[in-house]
Amino acid sequence: MQEVGLVQHPFWHNLFRRSVTLESTIADLWLNTALFDRIARRHCETMVPNMQLRQYGKGEVIFNQGDLGIGVVMILSGSVSISSNGNQLALLSKGDFFGEVALVSDEPRTADAFADQDSELVFFLRPHLIELLEQHPPIASQLMLNLARVLASRLRASNDMLNRTPDSEL
């Protein structure tokens, strides 16, 4: 008996399966972060097209301590090192985000960030958050509440780390 190969015709594909696009991948990654907790997929997907995508080569500076920030950055691929005064604070990878203070403050960056390996990053910028606040206050309010929780969590972790560090190392 000879097997007959099935020809995939667009008409017969699963109509209910979401196609995997770059935008849906970015939305999936954001939705798995504390920053987008309780944000509906459809709302996140409407924000993604406004986000900026940028590639960095290994060792390339993303921003320096003291630079003015304009938004939060999420890692789509690769890894990013965060350091301050020559001390590595974190090594982040796919799905991690950093620089979130810049969503609400135009203060200088508090650390350096550089690509630890070739990386693709997604930037969610403050002007887009402001636009979201004007056009969709309930969604933006949830995002701001999430941001406050993230900042509080990171502050708590920093305080814990300082409390464990001997005074001679401070």
Q: How many helices (H) and strands (E) does the chain have?
A: 4, 8
Query: How many angstroms separate the CA atoms of 43 and 112, rounded?
Result: 31
CATH number among 3.40.50.10070, 3.90.420.10, 2.70.180.20, 2.60.120.10, domain 51-125: 2.60.120.10
Is residue 159 very low, low, confident or very high in pLDDT (cuts 50, 70, 90)?
confident
Is residue 16 very low, low, confident or very high in pLDDT (cuts 50, 70, 90)?
low
Query: How many angstroms separate the CA atoms of 91 and 108, rounded?
Result: 21
| Exposed / middle / buried, residue 124 (Cβ in 10 Å: 0-12, 13-18, 19+) | buried
Q: For residue range 89-139, list pLDDT tens digits in order.
A: 999 999 999 999 999 998 999 999 999 999 999 999 999 999 999 999 999
Mean pLDDT, rounded, of the chain: 89
From the list 164, 149, 29, 138, the residue with the least C-alpha distance to 94 is 29
